[in-house]
Amino acid sequence: MRIATAAAVALAPVAAAAVALAPVAAAAVALAAEEPGGGGAGRSPEAGLLPSPEVQDPALALLVGIIRKDCYGAWPRAELERELRGNPRKTRVPFESLSEFRRRAGASGRSVATVNVILARAGAVRIPYDILGYHPGKLRLSGELELVEWRLGSIRYGVRERGGRDGPFEDLEDVTVWGVRRGRARMDVDGWLDALMGSRLDDTEIVGFALFRHRGRSVAMALGYNDHGRGYSGAFDLTEDRILFPHPPEFQAAGAMLRARLERLMGTTRRPTIGG
């Protein structure tokens, strides 16, 4: 799972966008075989927010709804909080850290949108989700994150089994990805948990996020590298509102594949060592 906690918070307005995330959020990154989608006219904020019915957390449902309904506009924290009033479900998203969430159309023929997550102040946000009953650490954020968004549609990819044998093919649907263009997001794992989990958890510099459907579930993903250049990813099940841990093999493969595609889109060339 690795940095799935970041995917969850990042899809939330405090970290990144529904999954942009999303921000979670927040997590969706063109690729030679893929065509980035057009941004379309989009919906204005006056059209009203339509929460995604398949996302359990009400705050993340709002953010995922903005993305999937292709809404453009600016939403200050007070407006998002008003949308949540009267909802019997309580969010775990730390809204007090958010100042404003913005989404505007991207350059025609290139990115679909640009997303800005503006915080009340830079600093560390305690991860509100747990791994094996423990809160794993903090997400350190700059005062503003600017993310570039692409739509990748449906993707089929192969999963390697242990020993390097070819495994089954998996399908992702409605794939959206975001690359960090400005600002910084870093997952800092508590030292004792880092030591306990070994290579399964590590401090990670986040370079992007993804949002997709897999086998009927909505999943957010965070993509990044640890301090030694090893590629890491983490998955958060938005439908069940939980971190997927241990990180499933099909999502390890998806993380490596999406990170490579995102870097082509962003024009970066960093090459990871082994890791998803």
Q: How many CB atoms lie within 10 A of CB 61?
A: 25
The pLDDT of 206-227, averaged and rounded, is: 94
Residue 111 is assigned to a structural domain of this protein = yes
Q: Which domain holds residue 93?
A: 4-266
| pTM reported for the whole predicted model | 0.78
Q: Assign 74 a pLDDT band (cuts: 50, 70, 90).
A: very high
Residue 31 maps to a domain: yes
pLDDT at 14: 30
* pLDDT greater than 90 at residue 228: no
The answer to whether residue 213 is domain-embedded is yes
12 within domain boundaries: yes
**273 falls within a domain:** no
pLDDT at 226: 86
**What pLDDT shows up at residue 72?**
93
Per-residue confidence at 241, pLDDT binned at 50, 70, 90?
A: very high
Q: How do strand 242-243 and strand 231-237 relate by DSSP bridges?
A: antiparallel
Please report the pLDDT score of residue 101 as a whole number: 94
Q: What is the mean pLDDT of residues 100-105?
A: 94
pLDDT at 135: 58
Residue 12 is predicted with a pLDDT of: 36
Q: Decide if pLDDT at 59 tops 80.
A: yes
Q: For position 34, what pLDDT does the model report?
A: 26
Q: Looking at residues 122-127, what average pLDDT do you find?
A: 78
Residue 274 lies in a domain: no
Pick from 10-24, 238-252, 255-269: least confident: 10-24
Q: How many domains is the chain built from?
A: 1
For the chain, the straight-line distance linking the first and the last C-alpha, in angstroms and rounded, comes to 9
Q: Which amino acid is at 164?
A: G
Distance CA 1, CA 276 (A): 9
Q: Please say if the pLDDT value at position 155 is more than 90.
A: yes
Q: Which residue has the higher pLDDT, 188 or 113?
A: 113
pLDDT at residue number 168 = 87
pLDDT tens-digit map of 15-54: 333 333 333 333 222 222 222 233 344 554 444 678 999 9
Q: What is the mean pLDDT of residues 192-221?
A: 76
pLDDT of residue 139: 82
Least confident span in 11-25, 94-108, 118-132, 161-175? 11-25
Residue 28, pLDDT score: 27
Round the average pLDDT of the chain to a whole number and report it: 76
Q: What is the Cα–Cα distance from 182 to 148, expressed in whole angstroms? A: 9
Which residues lie closer than 8 Å to 49 by C-beta, 6 or more apart? 62, 65, 66, 71, 75, 83
Task: Let me know the angle formed at the C-alpha of 258 by 150 and 147, rounded to the nearest 5 degrees.
Answer: 40
More confident residue, 45 or 151: 151
3-state secondary structure of 44: coil
